[in-house]
Structure 1
């Protein structure tokens, strides 16, 4: 019971400190250069124990008039003060900016990437970033270099997930002090709807999609291969891949006729909004895995048929941000 009480007190102190820092500094720009006034520092548990040890040494040395013990006490005390200075300096002047965060599906763990850039001619040691849900692995940032940290955050529902607070932390050197800075950058990550279980088969539509191709490829170029489907022309079969025992696959070229699926919002009557989005997400994932072209029809939005990773991301993002 006392352990839970202590933990609750520490948590409330941290929440108060965070609110006070937000009132003082507001929302931070991206990127941000840490100034000295943004950095806070306190002794760690080891630092408190070290201070008590120094106090006991000082009392003993004074009691016995031992100059050698007094000299050792002052030497260790100066070491602690130097460590405090270097711990604070380890964060001062860092440039903090957001890095690319990959989208995730609802119910998963979003991983925000945060870059720390060191513009000084000296390296920074044992730097990390943390929030209420985890802490990144400490890293060394070389002189005039950068390091990218990964910070987890649960993604319970679709939409835009916001990381509105995190901390940069260091305990270098010796672990006697903890220096940190509160940051409120409002970093975002797209959260796709969670795909529903397989069950409802999408209606295929045989159509000449014309420009159904990966947008990263040019016109009249080889766009990739997909699994063989009934009705495909034998001339499109990749026989060399079949000879290498890679299965029966069909070559897809830009502008060729392919089996295209039309994933229509109105084709799922009787389902709620989230259930429809989950089913559409399942169809998109299955079609992309099969290499089939597909189109997406939502209220007030139509995405023409296409294939490729960029097309998949565009459609899933439209589902994630639906009605937001």
Structure 2
């Protein structure tokens, strides 16, 4: 029995010896879905009964894996329900080979940040119009005009806001033209406003989360007003990500 135990310790140690594990990324996602953690694992030899655990994130779906000697990427699902900003924390790399007689482990301490966005709640897209003031004061006044009084028309170029396209002129000439405004109307922003959304705080954040993604799908440029800050008008993937992260931390 003593020799069996000593042999088990030796084989258990050699099973993980020389293996390299690296956390490449953790994808942000909406609450109720999985955040995907991408690992790169480089064994020095065949690895048996490999498990990955976490001190805070339970139910990781990576247990009792058998890996060959090739470098490979492994995706692990993190089950998180609460919105917010998270740190990758501490992962435990463990094996109970051979036969569960010993446990051999090591810790991985990456420095990664990721977000769990509020779960989108389908609602009507409600974009308010406002004038941007100096950065010290945020928004100084609101407008509800239709923005039909514009200064000139220019040819549409890739990257321009689609909500500035003059569809009336397109119907006549089949040419895509965008409206240019003059004076203070150039500072007009289309705002998703926390204070204009009905419901409790978490309901508001979920509705705004849906509206951010919907506004992006429809090609709108928009700003986002929250109790903890104001994100200026913009569009595109980077702007949407900035808004979703702000909603997660609100």
TM-score range, shorter chain: 0.5 to 0.7
State the Cα distance separating 1:263 from its structure 2 match.
Answer: 0.6
Q: Residue 100 of structure 1: SS of its match in structure 2?
A: strand
State the Cα distance separating 1:277 from its structure 2 match.
Answer: 1.5
In 2, Cα distance between equivalents of 1:298 and 1:273: 11
Contact 1:111 1:151 in 2 (8 A): yes
Give the structure 1 partner of residue 109 of structure 2. 185
> Cα gap change, 1:291/1:94 in structure 2, threshold over 3 Å: closer, same or farther?
same
Superposition pairs for residues 11-50 of structure 1, below 5 Å?
Answer: none
Superposition pairs for residues 282-297 of structure 1, below 5 Å?
Answer: 282-297=210-225
1:103 aligns with 2:28: yes
Contact 2:224 2:243 in 1 (8 A): yes
1:272 aligns with 2:196: no
Contact 1:225 1:252 in 2 (8 A): no
State the Cα distance separating 1:148 from its structure 2 match.
Answer: 3.2
> Cα gap change, 1:318/1:149 in structure 2, threshold over 3 Å: closer, same or farther?
same
Q: Residue deviations 1:204-253, cap 9 Å, x none?
A: 54679xxxxxxxxxxx9623896x9995355499x8xxxxxxxxxx9799
Contact 1:128 1:139 in 2 (8 A): no
In 2, Cα distance between equivalents of 1:94 and 1:266: 53
Structure 1 runs not aligned, ≥5 long: 1-50, 56-76, 209-219, 240-249
Higher strand share: 2
**Which of 128, 133, 140 is matched with 2:67 structurally?**
140
In 1, Cα distance between equivalents of 2:171 and 2:14: 64
Give the structure 2 partner of residue 223 of structure 1. 159
> Cα gap change, 1:150/1:251 in structure 2, threshold over 3 Å: closer, same or farther?
farther
Contact 2:90 2:108 in 1 (8 A): yes
Higher helix share: 1
In 2, Cα distance between equivalents of 1:180 and 1:251: 65
Contact 2:95 2:105 in 1 (8 A): no
Give the structure 1 partner of residue 78 of structure 2. 153
> Paired residues, what number?
214
Q: Residue deviations 1:11-58, cap 9 Å, x none?
A: xxxxxxxxxxxxxxxxxxxxxxxxxxxxxxxxxxxxxxxx7xxx9xxx
1:232 aligns with 2:159: no
In 2, Cα distance between equivalents of 1:207 and 1:304: 19
In 2, Cα distance between equivalents of 1:84 and 1:225: 64
Q: Residue 111 of structure 1: SS of its match in structure 2?
A: strand
Contact 1:224 1:251 in 2 (8 A): no
Give the structure 1 partner of residue 153 of structure 2. none
Give the structure 2 partner of residue 307 of structure 1. 235
Indicate the structure (1 or 2) with the bigger Cα radius of gyration. Answer: 1
State the Cα distance separating 1:297 from its structure 2 match.
Answer: 1.6
In 1, Cα distance between equivalents of 2:62 and 2:117: 24
**Which of 166, 190, 196 is matched with 1:261 structurally?**
190
- Structure 1 length normalisation: TM-score? 0.52
Q: Residue 318 of structure 1: SS of its match in structure 2?
A: helix
